[in-house]
Structure 1
């Protein structure tokens, strides 16, 4: 896979950045637009590069303080027809599906970790769907609640923050989880408290539902399933396979457990509420731990690939650029 880097470069940094781009293994095309940047004054450089090599180039650009002095934009063209691009992908180490652009992961999860009104609305709706499924013994409603729940975003962001030691990301994720779940559970409890006198469901509804017993009966498989879901979710984010996230949402019992706690407390089923709370805790811990383990693994193999990668000979374009600099 080819990605495109658009670099807004101050004039005094332009030659150093261009040199990094030309010498980077896996770079297919480099274009220099002199004076194209108005703010900050300088040049615009675009680079077509194999995704496997993009992270190494971005790290080199970070060492030049380009994000502070200019900017780096990364995009993925839908189609690139170029023999040069094919050769660049072939020369780049590893596979594009296994490559990670860490700034991209941090930015993506950072957006999902914020405590917003839409996040709260989705979580409240999901908890309400779960509560309806619980009191009506409807697995369809519970599965719907799992899909609607937005909690995987903050959980993934928490994993990224812990691995990369980005404590601001950790704090925002914990805030989204620490505020979102109690608010959703409180609204669900209030709705359940009003529903009983209205006759929407009987006071012994929790004694009649056999299809939802798994929610308040946590066990070893609760943690195992949560860990598998957390690993699959993080892999889907890294490899850009969003379709796998639907399976992740359906496999975890975070929102149903939160909904069950709220309903059980209203109906006085405190032992079942405790079991559901334990289910919720196991799922949260399992997802975060497994997602963090996936990130650590990819960091280790990324460092190993960088350590064994040998510098390649400069391309013809790079040699011409060097000759031009010497002539100056």
Structure 2
């Protein structure tokens, strides 16, 4: 269940209540007249089944409440109520399959911004991946993959492509285009320091036995990227963020970027080129698969909406 809060002018409270009253997937509808201060108005609250949330948000936006009032939505972890159970049963579809598009756009939009925090996490992840690669430590590389924040911009680009939102595509592309070169440059400088201190040598890289997957590009590189991108978008649309950890571990973006920097400093040009290719394959494959998942989800939403319109008619 999701908790919906609507601040609206007093003149629109009746319309807002009517929209919520007419939805069988709504429970615990409460109206607080005149309690809102900025902007002044009434507060309407309700618990909503996830599968009907997207349609409700659209209807409320049609009333203009998002312009002269406000709409907020938050996840409820525990709801003990027979009325809530009945609302979820009455709502069409399955909550795990429902996509709340406004929630998805808001979430990925925030995670895809080019910020100091994003750049710091990506740089630290690349540094960890570089250390893991040169020490032949898969555990360190996996830790770097989990730390990497790059899936946010990738998801934003996928959503932007499907919804034709240039702002999301450009925002995600900017974060990736600026973030990876900066992180790779810092990693290259760190590798040079390691080399000067005698901690690293090109000959030592010949003995790495478990790091070949970082730069060896093959058909399974694309397969893994596609599966990870699809799983990542499914975890976002179904609000199951725990599954994202597995996605982060699957996508070989951060390790490839980090090893490319190491290989350049050590003059291993072929491995550097393959690492960059690996990075590109993973980015394109994951973004394309995530977009495909959204296309299928959007078609499913339209189909359910058409079926519901026919049943109401």
Same fold (TM over 0.5): yes
Aligned pairs for 1:1-328 (under 5 A) are 2-310=1-309
**Deviation of 1:186 (Å):** 0.3
Structure 2 CA distance for partners of 1:102 and 1:265, relative to 1, 3 Å: same
Q: Is the 8 A contact 2:24 2:91 kept in 1?
A: yes
| Unpaired segments ≥5 residues, structure 1 | 314-328
User: Hey, which bits of structure 1, 4+ residues long, moved more than 4 A?
Assistant: 310-313
Structure 2 CA distance for partners of 1:217 and 1:78, relative to 1, 3 Å: closer
Q: Deviations over 1:226-246 (max 9, x none)?
A: 010011111111122222111
CA distance in 2, matches of 1:275, 1:104: 37
SS at match of 2:43: strand
Using structure 2 for the length normalisation, give the TM-score.
0.96
| Unpaired segments ≥5 residues, structure 2 | none
- The count of residues paired between Structure 1 and Structure 2 equals 312
**Deviation of 1:311 (Å):** 7.5
Q: Deviations over 1:60-84 (max 9, x none)?
A: 1111121111111112333222222
Q: Is the 8 A contact 1:34 1:42 kept in 2?
A: yes
SS at match of 1:93: coil
Q: Deviations over 1:82-140 (max 9, x none)?
A: 22222211111111111111111111111100111121111111111111122122212
**Over alpha carbons, which structure has the higher Rg?**
1
- Across the aligned residues of Structure 1 and Structure 2, the Cα RMSD in angstroms comes to 1.5
Q: Deviations over 1:139-191 (max 9, x none)?
A: 12211111111111111111112212222222211111111100000001111
Q: Is the 8 A contact 1:156 1:291 kept in 2?
A: yes
CA distance in 2, matches of 1:101, 1:216: 37
SS at match of 1:309: helix
CA distance in 2, matches of 1:80, 1:213: 48
CA distance in 2, matches of 1:16, 1:214: 58
